[in-house]
Structure 1
Amino acid sequence: MSTSDWEQQSPPAEVTVPRSYELILPPGWVRIPLREGTKEALERILFSHMEQVPEGIPRDDAMRFRLDTRRQLERQARAAKRNGGLDLYLPVLPRGGIFLMASFIVAELPIGQANVMSQQAVISELVNEGVPGGTAAEVDLAGAPALRRAYGSTLEEEKPSSAPEAEQQAALPTRRVDYVIPVPDDPGRWISINFSTPGDGDIDSEFTGVLVELFDAVVSTFKWRYE
């Protein structure tokens, strides 16, 4: 189980708002906090969770693989933090000798319509807007309405045309799923859970679909904590 805390604005004395959330993670997945403790979490992952390396990597190259992975995780964490991220989640142990290419980010998402629209109205409007090439639907999460969006992101959308050619070629189309969740009794404050995976290179394959189902199963365990 993973729990996370974040700073909250002071609500009225008679109102109790969540101070954190919980998720149950699959085996081999870890949480990297982005507000504080990021460096320590990366150290634990590097030296405690990554005893195994993918098949085909010589033993002598194991430490270099771990250090390269550390640099990649640091880049992901910095990018997620810049976008308001609270926590980054990703698999660090191989499944069947294969490292999964997938991750999701929990982030603050201030929609800023606390005095204009109810949370239900915001969700309904976002559902009605839809998603180009994808789907948007209202779902029940932690006993309250939330938004789920699913769509594919093409290589061109992943990398701007001004990016170096080698970087553009390294990018892969990804399958994305976003959940947008209102914070109870705290109008105008929301969090998002954003999943991304290139799957096996085919974002419409059965394997990619299994990864999406795994993510949906993780999100279904989402709970607010009030301690």
Structure 2
Amino acid sequence: MKIKHADFITSAVRKNQYPETGHPEVAFVGRSNVGKSTIINAITNRRKLAKVSNTPGRTRLVNFFLINEAAMLVDLPGYGYAKISKTEKAAWGKIIEDYINSSPHLKRFVLLVDSRHKPTADDIAMMEYFRYFEKDVVVIGTKLDKLKRNDIRKSEKLIRETLELTDKDQLILYSSTSRENLQAVIDLVFHDILPEDE
């Protein structure tokens, strides 16, 4: 599967601002510093499609990108950034929750976690939310290049145990630096959403 086209469509904070394309949607969600924008840029092979900030927590909007003119990649605001007020946290949470509950075209979530560390309480809460509402979700562990090779299995085991993943739940560790497992990520994220021959 190849990503041939990727275009920014719009940013939104409420339902009436979401684009009405009718395309299936894949939503990316994760902590503010997990590397969400970087992996989106790698998947789409566009360096600056999603804005990468040195300051975590800058993305406060729901960003929509059209992929191969057939699907929408949705970048949700990052959660868990400590240096924001409770009011801001609540506002971000509402933006995410409103999108999750109101988008009729949402087909899959991509939960990003930092493969170097045990998933956080926020990561666990997000996974439990998906599980409770029976959402299709895949988990991607970022920053694989920061792990020693003999720690990869340990990291996978820790992520699976902490998020209570079953053998059927999909988990891939990925590196934006080396692009290791990039194609596997693309194939997993867009499985049954984009045609296999794309």
| TM-score (normalizing by structure 1) | 0.22
Q: Considering fraction of residues, name the structure with more strand.
A: 1
The structure with the largest alpha-carbon Rg is 1
